[in-house]
């Protein structure tokens, strides 16, 4: 089972690399490193702040876009090219196929994020001429971004297991946008009463809470992030993405592929 999963995962990763997905890294690093000296010229005292905000936001946004645009094709492309039938005719189960695709896309996104992080540190070094202990906090923000990818990838896979690629992309982007404002939804639920309040509370817990996984502000302003928050955020992202992936497996298992 493990070998089948890793074979599908590595194949998905290789396919993404062949699709020149990682080319965005070159663009990202080049832009960041080349523009780093400019930050000092266009801003006063906020070079580091600007660099961290811009780069971490880019890592998050690039990653989400990649997750959605690759994710929507993971199942449909295999059906379209009829390669899915070849895969499933071998001793590969449907749930293994879904999990393999999930891990493969996650591997692509993690590699992407880590290489981008190296670029960020290079740009920081150019801007400030040294790295400090506070800069290590960037890794926590990047880790939270990777947790976001876990959830976005699971959601995209869920939508692509029953919908057309274009609708899967729309659903995934919409949920990403809603999830970014999940705290507002939660606050609204706390203020509302009766059925509206119950509905808002249910919606607030059903949508992914990306707001809790956004630590860019804190990191940019050298605010500490408690270890317990890191632990609970990790648990939340794992549980939520596992639940969504279980949903994707459930749908894909029952889907008529003939």
Residue ranges that bind another protein, judged by CB under 8 A = 93-95, 181, 183-184, 186-188, 190-191, 205, 209, 211-212, 217, 220-221, 226, 228-229, 232-233, 235-236, 239-240, 242-243, 246-247, 249-250, 253-254
Residue 10 beta carbon to another protein: minimum distance, rounded to whole angstroms? 23
**Integer Rg of the chain from CA:** 20
Quick one: 10 or 250, whose CB is closer to another protein?
A: 250
Tell me how far apart the alpha carbons of residues 2 and 116 are, in angstroms, rounded to a whole number.
29
Q: Count CB neighbours of 232 within 10 A.
A: 12
- Residue 157 and residue 101 in contact, taking contact as beta carbons nearer than 8 Å: yes
CB of 240 vs another protein, minimal distance in Å: 4
CB 216 within 8 A of CB 53: yes
Shortest gap between Cβ of 226 and another protein (angstroms)? 7
Closer by beta carbon to another protein, 132 or else 187: 187
- 8 Å CB contact between 234 and 212: no
Q: Report the residue number, 166 or 235, with the smaller CB distance to another protein.
A: 235
Q: At what angle do helices 47-71 and 73-80 cross, to 10 degrees?
A: 30
Residue closer to another protein by CB (options 45, 130) is 45
- Minimal distance in Å, beta carbon 248 to another protein? 9
Task: Compute the distance between CA of residue 233 and CA of residue 209 in angstroms, rounded to an integer.
Answer: 10
Q: Which is nearer to another protein, 108 or 212 (CB)?
A: 212
DSSP 104-136: HHHHHHHHHHHHHHHHHHHHHHHHHSS--GGGG
């Amino acid at each position: 089972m493990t070998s089948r999963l890793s074979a599908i995962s590595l194949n998905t990763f290789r396919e993404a690399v062949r699709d020149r997905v990682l080319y965005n890294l070159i663009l990202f690093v080049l832009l960041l490193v080349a523009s780093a000296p400019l930050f000092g010229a266009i801003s006063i005292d906020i070079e580091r702040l600007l660099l961290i905000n811009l780069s971490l936001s880019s890592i998050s946004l690039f990653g989400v876009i990649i997750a959605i645009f690759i994710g929507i094709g993971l199942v449909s492309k295999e059906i379209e090219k009829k390669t899915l039938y070849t895969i499933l005719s071998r001793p590969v189960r449907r749930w293994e196929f879904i999990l393999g695709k999930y891990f493969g896309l996650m591997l692509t996104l993690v590699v992407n994020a880590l290489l981008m992080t190296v670029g960020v540190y290079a740009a920081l070094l150019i801007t400030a001429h040294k790295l400090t202990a506070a800069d290590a906090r960037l890794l926590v923000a990047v880790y939270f971004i990777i947790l976001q990818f876990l959830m976005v990838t699971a959601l995209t896979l869920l939508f692509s297991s029953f919908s057309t690629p274009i609708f899967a992309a729309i659903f995934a982007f919409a949920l990403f946008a809603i999830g970014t404002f999940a705290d507002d939804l939660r606050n609204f639920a706390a203020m509302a009463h009766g059925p509206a309040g119950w509905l808002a509370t249910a919606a607030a817990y059903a949508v992914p809470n990306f707001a809790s996984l956004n630590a860019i502000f804190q990191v940019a302003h050298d605010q500490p992030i408690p270890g317990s928050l890191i632990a609970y955020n990790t648990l939340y992202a794992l549980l939520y993405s596992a639940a969504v992936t279980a949903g994707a497996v459930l749908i894909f298992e029952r889907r008529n592929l003939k």
